[in-house]
Amino acid sequence: MITLKDIKDNPDITEMINASNRALEVLGYTEHGMRHVGWVSKTAAGILSDLGYDKRTVELAEITGYLHDVGNLVNRVNHGISGAVMVLPMLLRMGMPMAEAVQISTAIGNHEEQVGKPVSAITDALIIADKADAHRSRVRKGKYDSLDIHDRVNYAIKSSTVQTDAENKTISFVLSMDENSCIMDFFTIYLERMRFCSKAAQHLGCSFRLYINGTQMNLEP
């Protein structure tokens, strides 16, 4: 059985993640390296665990979160599809059964809001975890640009968590922002991403709630 540890210990995968992050740095994007994939991995697993999914499905979500952005080393455009095509043969070579590898590939190929759809529980958890990684730690050290809306919004976010309530069937993205940016800036970047999260939560049988500085920003119950 291929575990998250096996994935993390694979030097080729490590280099793919680092290469993706380097390419995005040149293009001016926020951090997409080990911090990001680690956060997404843990958060995606947490969502499914809290909803009562079995341990292996939870671990597959962890692995998916760790691998989801490797397609950026090819190109930012359609990086989910590129990544899905890349990881499938790699996982099979490592000894993962096809039935598990295709679940990971499907989720990675559907995590972009531009082309993806919430087609499985692992996909749903990945979508929410990826889009909810908004935090000042994503702004690259020494490269904060107050004129860049992505830097400005992320730097303004002091804390962000995903909270899953299985009993009430809600998944909440809770964040706290300071005066470095404004809520309008947040929605300029994140509106479509939040809608995508809502669709993913609905596919999991939950409603999605967005809270900014203690106020619920959407109308879902």
User: Per residue in 174-197, pLDDT tens?
Assistant: 999 998 788 899 999 999 999 999
Average pLDDT rounded to a whole number, residues 38-46: 98
**What confidence score (pLDDT) does residue 219 get?**
80
Mean pLDDT, all residues of the chain: 96
**What is the widest separation between alpha-carbon atoms in the chain?**
50
**What confidence score (pLDDT) does residue 117 get?**
98
Walk me through the domains of the chain, giving residue ranges and CATH numbers.
4-216 (1.10.3210)
**What confidence score (pLDDT) does residue 147 get?**
82
The predicted-structure confidence for 60-115, as pLDDT tens digits, reads as follows 999 999 999 999 999 999 999 999 999 999 999 999 999 999 999 999 999 999 99
CA 118 → CA 64, 153, 185, distances in Å? 14, 26, 26
Residue in 9, 25, 110, 27 with CA at minimum distance from that of residue 63? 9
Beta-strand ranges (E) seen in 119-203 are 157-165, 170-177
Query: Residue 221: which pLDDT band, with cuts at 50, 70 and 90?
Result: low
**Predicted TM-score of the model (pTM):** 0.96
* In the chain, % of residues over pLDDT 70: 100
Beta-strand ranges (E) seen in 74-219 are 157-165, 170-177, 207-212, 215-216
**What confidence score (pLDDT) does residue 199 get?**
98
Query: Residue 32: which pLDDT band, with cuts at 50, 70 and 90?
Result: very high
